Amino acid sequence: MCELDSSIRNKQAAVDKIQEEMLSLTVRKELLSSGMEKINHRHQEQLEQVGCQQRELDTKISQYAVLAPPPCSRKAGEMQQLLLQLVYIFFVT
């Protein structure tokens, strides 16, 4: 009987210890979750600020940009002129 009581006390002590550890881990989990929420919120705010700055820069670029035809389209125009000259030379002369 004494051994049975001792075994029950040991098992109860182990259960109490596990419950304390579970409580401690639950508290840590809640603290980490709270911290992650704060970090995510802060990052979201920074992302919105960067997006706003990017839109402002895009607006300024579009206002002050000088548009020129790309180099390849100029070359295409030159190629068309050369082709017309060759056609003229081939068929007319």
Question: Would you say residue 78 lies in a domain?
Answer: no
Question: Would you say residue 41 lies in a domain?
Answer: yes
pLDDT tens-place string over residues 38-92: 999 999 999 999 999 999 988 888 777 666 556 665 566 777 788 888 887 877 7
3-state helix, strand, coil in the chain (%, to 5): 90, 0, 10
Question: Would you say residue 40 lies in a domain?
Answer: yes
Owner of token pair 């002050």: 64
Q: How many structural domains compose the chain?
A: 1
Token pair in block for residue 62: 């579009």
Question: Would you say residue 47 lies in a domain?
Answer: yes
Per-residue pLDDT, 3:
85
Question: Would you say residue 58 lies in a domain?
Answer: yes
Per-residue pLDDT, 42:
96
